[in-house]
Amino acid sequence: MSTQSELQQTIEDMVDDHRGILAADESHPTIAKRFKAINVESTEENRRVWRSLLLTTPGLGDYISGTILFEETLGQKGEEGTLLPQVAWKQKIVPGIKVDKDTAPLSGAPGDLITRGLDGLGEQLQGYKTQGARFAKWREVYPIARHNPTPLGRQANAEMLARYAAICQELGVVPIVEPEVLMECEHDIGRCAEVTEQVLHAVFHALHQHHVSLEHMILKPNMVLPGKACRRAEPDEVAAATLRVLRRTVPAAVPSINFLSGGQDDEEATANLNSINQLGGNAPWQLSISYGRALQQPALRTWIGKTENSAAAQQALLKRARLNSLARTGEYDPSME
């Protein structure tokens, strides 16, 4: 199969009008923090058990079309001895891989960050493909401050995302492009809209320069939200601001926009997605999810590391996945919680 055919097949398997992506790619420090909150030690075995629980949830493939995995998960097996990427694909959930590494201060742009991990990426992706990964994900982060992100910060981060995406597509791997404007700031929703528009403009300019096929990528942006220190915005306000920015910056050729939850709680993330789809019914892209904590958190609180809670935890995950599927068509209602 040609790389172009591989890319197209993956897009067809992942993009539809009712499913979304489960982000289960937490790094060791992040999952350790999540486990600590429920008094579970972050051992390799506990991580395997948790991610196996997620991927073996009966019926999950009805609402989830892809899952972003952490590197160690590609080689781990479920309780029946099947590799976890294969476990996912049994439910027609396409397995993918997080390839970005840690962030570091960007030289020449105080306050801005840059993500590391591009060196040797092609060779790594070839290995991940043999383990079943069909798409990849790379995240760049943009803290908001009075002078950040700087023009240099926007340009440098966009360049990294575009170089990553081009490498992926050369190997037949669909890139998820994730520019995240962070919520951990004191900005209002207007400032977030301004920065998100600038960021996305820079990203698509860089993607064009690197000849990235927009038809064979997925965008994973933040919603336009006020910082955590500001008042919480209503879903219709979030939807209007988010769609305004997307219509100004994202070409119609992009098949799907899968929002990150970005620190929103599970119900807030679903309500905002619902309003975005209600208001954006004529949008040229699918408007979906690539949620991590906003899908996993209720299941994690139910599981608390105990085997006897596994079935109930899976039902908690399935409920959130189903409610987000309803939000894809604007049919979610808070009374369903």
Model pLDDT for residues 1-57, shown as the tens digit of each residue: 799 999 999 999 999 999 999 999 999 999 999 999 999 999 999 999 999 999 999
Rounded mean pLDDT of 144-152? 94
pLDDT for residue 104 is more than 80: yes
Residue 17 burial (10 A CB sphere; 0-12, 13-18, 19+): exposed
- Between CA 333 and CA 312 the distance in angstroms is 23
Q: What angle do CA 104, 107, 112 make, to 5 degrees?
A: 60
Strand, helix or coil for residue 201:
helix
pLDDT for residue 265 is more than 80: yes
String of DSSP letters for 69-95: E-HHHHT-B-TTS-BHHHHHHHTT-EE
**Chain segment 184-223, per-residue pLDDT in tens:** 877 889 999 999 999 999 999 999 999 999 999 999 999 9
Rg (C-alpha) for the chain, rounded Å, is 19
For the annotated catalytic residues, the residue numbers are 178, 220
Rounded mean pLDDT of 143-168? 96
What mean pLDDT is reported for the chain?
A: 96
pLDDT of residue 187: 85
**Chain segment 163-188, per-residue pLDDT in tens:** 999 999 999 999 999 999 998 877 88
Q: How confident is the model at residue 307 (pLDDT cuts 50, 70, 90)?
A: very high
Domain architecture of the chain: domains with CATH = 3-336 (3.20.20.70)
- Between CA 275 and CA 267 the distance in angstroms is 12
Rounded mean pLDDT of 263-288? 95
Rounded mean pLDDT of 289-318? 97
* Model confidence, pTM: 0.97
Strand, helix or coil for residue 293:
helix
pLDDT of residue 18: 97
Give the chain's count of helices (H) and strands (E): 12, 10
Q: Are 166 and 4 in contact (CB under 8 A)?
A: no
State percent of the chain over pLDDT 90.
93
Question: Residue 67 phi/psi, 5° resolution?
Answer: -135, 130
pLDDT of residue 231: 73
pLDDT for residue 228 is more than 80: no
3-state secondary structure 243-262: HHHHHHHCCCCCCEEEECCC
